[in-house]
Chains A and B, each alone.
Chain A
């Protein structure tokens, strides 16, 4: 029977973690912040430990103690930046193999197999490892398990962190749901200013779609909020129609748009890689083409 040590620093991921834990393990314990640990379902965990999030290294040090006591076959978490960091720190101390953003994990005897996305997200690699091992599972791969809590939850002590927190600032959130959108208009570095994104916003509005963006537009320039970031480090989209404008078509961007039904690319560089990923590629300057497209759409759609 497989024994698992499951943990999450992110309370919001606890239901997804429980779902994987139930599938992979016969017996398990959970380490999580109080609000998550208190909800640990008895059908999955025999015990829960309460550990507040804080610094990943301090969290990992506390996990190591539980690991050494419980001696699990596998350590499970869901890939967030902090969870992956804590998992990697723990794996290094214990000299264990680890797979980040693991998909389709399976355990047979003492062998673990799993897949993960590599090469900018454009390819999938298969792995085989001997237990014990650490898995940071890709988010969104399992239906969250909603089951009432009820196991004994015991507080755990973390050591004083060596990295001290001076300030924490929440990021701006918008009420957009790129993942569910039927039409997405993506903007990239081909746009020269925040002002100019109005062109894409007008197009999106006309089509009843949502504006999304490449990483630099969001993370470098801060022109749009992170809810609109498309890519392996942002959101995965699967619309009927994705119109990518002024986006070069980097693998890390396109990997997250692969499930789009139709992809249209507008780029002034005929050799831009995005054209290989497009059903319809328009070779044109977006500043000239978008006003024309918007005008024609208004005529055709009577809007």
Chain B
């Protein structure tokens, strides 16, 4: 049975590229967007399922960071990455009323978009976005579409109109099963995301990226919690670098330093 699979892939602020204004205030507009780390696992899971069962992979995204005008390009780049991995079409929602993002608003946009796409058998998301780490959006989408939800799947398998997954909880691994259509969020351990070849990257430029506003989805601007300032948490470190060919000398220096710091005892 061919499957229509929707993957939720976020253009996230990259936590490896934190930029600040003043001493600790995060300068959101100066930070680049990147495909959220575990959303690559979501794309991989969807593409693997398509390769096995046939069908189509839609990659969906909601722009959540300002300034929208400039970010649209970055969002498209992120979508190209998913398309190069094997997704067939991208569908993105860009609307000032959804910026800055909130799981409530984002999930309502996704639910409307998925309804608009028609028959979707499986929705795959990441366990948490790398910028907001809220682990809400996938569950919210499932609730809004009234679909079964399996969160934190560290493996998944599709067959006979069902999805079987191993749910990775704090103290146990649960093997669970749900009828399709269903929503699943995957962990970083679910698979190894492929690196697209140059040909696949080039081919991705020919795949469509469709853009929607809230009005296109028939939605009113949702009420969101207000996101105030974001401050980076820093601890100043000594940043003393020991390098060179003489490892014995480096080891001696390190041991001396640690004794002096009082963290090891001679």
**Which A residues are within 8 Å of any B CB, using their own CB?**
55-57, 60, 80-82, 84-85, 88-93, 95-101, 117-130, 133, 162-171, 173, 183, 207, 215, 219-220, 226, 232, 240-241, 250-252, 255, 258-259, 261-264, 270, 273, 275-284, 288-289, 292-293, 295-297, 300-301
B224-A97 in contact (CB<8A):
yes
CB distance from B142 to the nearest CB of A (A): 7
A-B contact pairs, 18 of them (CB 8 A): A84-B136, A88-B143, A92-B140, A92-B142, A98-B104, A118-B133, A119-B13, A121-B133, A122-B15, A125-B229, A125-B230, A162-B179, A169-B173, A279-B261, A284-B243, A297-B255, A301-B265, A301-B266
List, in ascending order, chain B residues with CB within 8 A of A183's CB: 263-264
CA distance A80 to B143 in the complex (A): 19
CA distance A90 to B142 in the complex (A): 11
B residues 9-34 in Cβ contact with A at 8 Å: 13, 15-16, 18, 26
Task: Please provide the 3 A-B residue pairs with the shortest distance between their CB atoms, ordered closest to farther.
Answer: A120-B15, A129-B225, A92-B143
CB distance from B161 to the nearest CB of A (A): 13
Closest to A85 in B: B151
* Interface residue B254 (Cβ < 8 Å from any Cβ of A): yes
B residues 110-167 in Cβ contact with A at 8 Å: 130-136, 139-144, 148-152, 154, 164
List, in ascending order, chain A residues with CB within 8 A of B218's CB: none
A126-B229 in contact (CB<8A):
yes
B residues 212-254 in Cβ contact with A at 8 Å: 223-233, 235, 237-243, 247-248, 250-252, 254
CA distance A133 to B154 in the complex (A): 30
List, in ascending order, chain B residues with CB within 8 A of A129's CB: 225-226
Name the one of B18, B139, B241, B251 contacting A289, with C-beta atoms under 8 angstroms: B251
A171-B231 in contact (CB<8A):
no
Name the one of A119, A126, A168, A219 contacting B15, with C-beta atoms under 8 angstroms: A119
Name the one of A90, A171, A276, A288 contacting B239, with C-beta atoms under 8 angstroms: A276
Number of A-B contacts (CB under 8 A): 253
Name the one of B149, B173, B225, B237 contacting A97, with C-beta atoms under 8 angstroms: B225
B240-A279 in contact (CB<8A):
yes
Name the one of A81, A164, A259 contacting B151, with C-beta atoms under 8 angstroms: A81
A293-B232 in contact (CB<8A):
no
CA distance A134 to B102 in the complex (A): 13
B178-A165 in contact (CB<8A):
no
Most buried by A among B107, B135, B152, B240: B135
Name the one of B132, B150, B172 contacting A171, with C-beta atoms under 8 angstroms: B172
**Which B residues are within 8 Å of any A CB, using their own CB?**
13, 15-16, 18, 26, 102-104, 107, 130-136, 139-144, 148-152, 154, 164, 168-179, 187-189, 223-233, 235, 237-243, 247-248, 250-252, 254-255, 257-259, 261-266
Name the one of B142, B148, B226, B233 contacting A122, with C-beta atoms under 8 angstroms: B233
Q: Tell me whether A97 and B172 are in contact in the complex, defined as CB-CB below 8 angstroms, given that A275-B241, A281-B240 are known contacts.
A: no
List, in ascending order, chain A residues with CB within 8 A of B189's CB: 219-220
Closest to A169 in B: B173
B250-A284 in contact (CB<8A):
yes
List, in ascending order, chain A residues with CB within 8 A of B228's CB: 125-128
A92-B107 in contact (CB<8A):
yes
A283-B136 in contact (CB<8A):
no
CA distance A100 to B169 in the complex (A): 17
Q: Tell me whether A118 and B233 are in contact in the complex, defined as CB-CB below 8 angstroms, given that A279-B240, A283-B243 are known contacts.
A: no
Q: Tell me whether A56 and B151 are in contact in the complex, defined as CB-CB below 8 angstroms, given that A89-B140, A219-B188, A232-B133 are known contacts.
A: yes
